[in-house]
Amino acid sequence: MKLFELLINPVAFGALEITLIIVGVVILAVIAASFRLVTQTKKVVVERLGGYHTTWGVGIHFLVPIVDRIASTVSLKEQVKDFEPQPVITRDNVTMQIDTVVFFQITDPKAYTYGVEDPMSAIENISATTLRNIIGDLDLDETLTSRDLINTKMRLTLDEATDPWGIKVNRVEVKNIVPPKDIRDSMEKQMRAEREKRQTILIAEGEKRAEILRAEGEAEAVLLRAEANKQQRILQAEGEASAIFKIKEAEGLGIEIIKKAGADQAVLTLKSLEALAQVANGQATKIVVPTNITDIASTVLMAAEIAKDNKK
């Protein structure tokens, strides 16, 4: 209230009163400024009279003026540090550039504040020396194909080294590996030759497979044709056999009928004449005529008469 009156009518107050009012205002301002709000993801390390006093968590805290001092404010979030490429030498004396990314988190704000002067610089330096030690035990090919091994070894080494500083290394990733230009050119030529080799092999395998399939097709065709010819011959033979059987069956039936008619000798004579007729139809230049041709003729006539009498 007096501060308001002082601002309106400063002449009404004496020098002492003005001084006391100003001192009171300053004290109130200092007290108000001594309250600190700490958020969820932060920790505040407080010193009292130059020594470690406490670590503030989430909430509102009062900092005793002049006596207390905030030493550091630490973030508890996981942090990412991308280091510059480091020159390293492999076991077979190849110099290459490798850059890494470190994922870490502060777990002990007091140890982080008092453990090392510059934590980020310390992590970078120990990361570089650890990387050189690991790559020094590998040759070029192993370095290019062993990213997981490098990541695991670096994480274990860094985590162990940074533990006294209140830092937890969660993951280390090799971001990029850059061999020298002549090595890269050689690798490109090798990969190109390997691709051409695979292409040639695939073409040869395809041609080989095509030849095999073609030969198999021809063999199957030959077998199918042979099987078809076989079936055709079997069917033809069966047809001829059936025809011969039918003919013989008919002849037997005719002979049986003639026998029933009592003309056995006549039948024999007719068969003789049929044989003679077949001989005459052949290509022979000589024909032998039986001497009893007249007897045969009379016999045929007799057989014919007997057959007529039987029909009557």
State the Cα–Cα distance between residues 132 and 135, nearest whole angstrom: 5
State the Cα–Cα distance between residues 18 and 207, nearest whole angstrom: 108
Determine the CATH number of domain 79-179: 3.30.479.30
Q: Are 57 and 43 in contact (CB under 8 A)?
A: yes
Identity of the amino acid at 53: H
Domain boundaries, the chain: 2-75, 79-179, 187-260, 262-312
What is the Cα Rg of the chain in Å? 61
Provide the 8-state DSSP code for 289. P
Count of Cβ atoms closer than 10 Å to residue 60 Cβ = 9
Report the SS3 class of residue 22: helix
State the Cα–Cα distance between residues 219 and 217, nearest whole angstrom: 5
Place of tokens 């009163």: 17
Give pLDDT tens digits along the chain (312 positions): 555 555 555 555 556 666 776 777 777 777 777 888 888 889 999 998 888 899 998 889 888 888 888 888 999 899 998 888 888 888 888 888 888 999 999 999 999 999 888 888 889 899 989 999 998 888 888 888 888 899 999 999 999 999 999 999 999 998 888 887 877 677 777 778 888 888 888 888 888 888 898 888 888 888 888 888 888 888 888 888 888 878 877 777 766 766 666 555 555 565 555 555 554 555 545 545 455 555 555 554 554 555 455 555
Reading the block at residue 47, the tokens are 């010193």
Provide the 8-state DSSP code for 67. T
Reading the block at residue 267, the tokens are 């039948």
